[in-house]
Structure 1
């Protein structure tokens, strides 16, 4: 129930609210609108161009940094858009978003002919935790006849807010698989990477799309809208929910922070604090008063208390 929005004080207390407030939770998250992409028609076919940034992380949390820098350096996100040639039946198969990264439905992951023809070496299933509980054997890629002799991986999450905490190990597993299939490191081109990854969910349009969007954001440093446009340029049937759009924008802030830390630290790791010795402790005692004076004389921005004394409020009024 919403609290009253007036400033009148309760007769049983001597304090009054400084501002009106509400004690109810917002009913819905702010809606994120995905604007249409700006396409280039200069070569008679629509194309979509995205300016990516080099992979600068050195910590190895997403895989071998040497391999990842070479992977992103040898591929530009200049995509031929399929909007004019897309047909409804194409949603039942998978499309390559990158030369080594496919997106599609579970029916494509179960198709041995498709797996052999495209050379898929890793199946990544993105599932809802509730569906895993009700159908524990579906759609587990390890149980598909098409997965014989290839690697499998699953990403299960229920709430959209469970996505980011489980994202990094999955991206690292994908990159480690690609690095293991690379003929040389650093790679000199896409032909050096022999691995092929198929990321799928039941429809191939929702949860699996979000994983690939996050992968593009991490690897190429692009924003969520550009990542969605890149995917949609190859698989036109993809859709996103407002909740997952907000999650991707939250992920963008995390990626920005990771890249800023990597750029500030030459080693890619935060510097370890220097342990203070006994001499430093004795010397710091002499400067304690001076430090206090500096803090006291500094200009401090004062906040506004949520409650005020009713007498002071009456005087101000």
Structure 2
């Protein structure tokens, strides 16, 4: 079988802070595209976990960091692979999303992503299929870092990975709840640049993140620094 030839990544522009509305402009898409990964913003690719089993994909895209969102039942088949130079981070999120507090998990991944972006690392954000869990966490990052509403963040992701579909009775509801929190943080802290939104209410969740992943820096610091470098 002829090896798949991966095209060099064309990094898309990140969203403009507070863009509203974002219209659905689907990319040219085929069913097979859901099995590949798509760049969402510079240095972040969204896709299914099985991509880590394709060394040629990891090499071509220069991925050095994998953040995998999974529920506890998936530990057996979503696990670390022996890939030189690639760091893995697995986040076990409760399967019953609608009954769980997912906000601290959103904040944790936001901080991990922002640190990787600051360091110039290419990250694969994934879940089993790259459709529900990881797409929802990508949306949450855009909401926090770029002040997007939940519908706009989801649409932004779908404009790059068309199959991305946060579950209507699960993650979509949690993203709407997260939108209220982000809005409250913005009101409390005033208008800030991407990733620099601050709110005392967040400290509790940040402390939980620090307990889960020691050394994680607040998203305000990491994304803010990355934005300054970009300027």
TM over 0.5: yes
2:23 and 2:32 mapped to 1: Cα distance? 21
1:125 and 1:236 mapped to 2: Cα distance? 20
Of the candidates 68, 81, 93, which is equivalent to residue 144 of structure 1? 81
1:223 to 2:149 alignment: yes
Of the candidates 60, 72, 93, which is equivalent to residue 157 of structure 1? 93
Q: Provide the alpha-carbon RMSD of the alignment.
A: 2.8
**1:122 aligns to what SS in structure 2?**
strand
1:210 to 2:147 alignment: no
Matches within 5 A, 1:169-184: 169-179=108-118, 181=119
With over 3 angstroms needed to count, the CA separation of the structure-2 counterparts of 1:126 and 1:103, relative to structure 1, is: same
Cα contact 1:103–1:199 (8 A) shared by 2: yes
Q: Deviations over 1:37-64 (max 9, x none)?
A: xxxxxxxxxxxx965239xxxxxxxxxx
Count of residues paired in the alignment: 178
- TM-score, normalised to structure 1, is 0.51
Partner of 1:234: 160
1:150 and 1:124 mapped to 2: Cα distance? 11
Partner of 1:120: 63
Cα contact 1:102–1:199 (8 A) shared by 2: yes
Q: Report runs of 4+ in structure 1 exceeding 4 Å deviation.
A: 77-80
User: Alpha-carbon deviation of 1:79?
Assistant: 9.4
Cα contact 1:105–1:200 (8 A) shared by 2: yes
Q: Deviations over 1:158-203 (max 9, x none)?
A: 1212321222122112212222x2xxxxxxxxxxxx3211111111
1:247 to 2:174 alignment: yes
Give 5+ residue unaligned stretches, structure 2.
1-13, 192-197, 201-231
Partner of 1:53: 18
1:261 and 1:80 mapped to 2: Cα distance? 31
Cα contact 1:93–1:107 (8 A) shared by 2: no
Give 5+ residue unaligned stretches, structure 1.
1-48, 55-76, 182-193, 271-317
Higher alpha-carbon Rg: 1
